Amino acid sequence: MTQPIHGLAAPLQSILDAELARGNTVIEVVNWSPKCELLVILRRPFHHSYLPLPDVEFVEINDRHYWKSEYNYQGGRQVIACSFC
């Protein structure tokens, strides 16, 4: 198991643990106000789907100004996103 990110919801922490175990890395952890209290961005795309998870939704963003896709928790209160590379 990886070092937990303080306050990250358990379903998102499970995604993060799985991604880090597969070699992905965290490039940023921030508060992204006003709605998102915790945003974690990974260097590479997600390795596979992690759904279903309680209170988690997968969204394809596909915006190079932001990121490729994300798993958001409770409507975006917390988000784990991945880059394109």
Q: Tell me the per-residue pLDDT of 17-66, one tens digit each, with 9 for 90 and over.
A: 999 999 999 999 999 888 899 999 999 999 999 999 999 999 999 999 99
When pLDDT is cut at 50, 70 and 90, the band that residue 1 belongs to is very low
When pLDDT is cut at 50, 70 and 90, the band that residue 2 belongs to is low
Can you give the C-alpha Rg of the chain in angstroms? Answer: 11
- CA angle (9, 37, 8) in 5-degree steps: 20
Give the residue-averaged pLDDT of 2-12. Answer: 86
H/E stretch holding 20: helix 10-21
CA–CA dist 65, 53 (Å, integer):
27
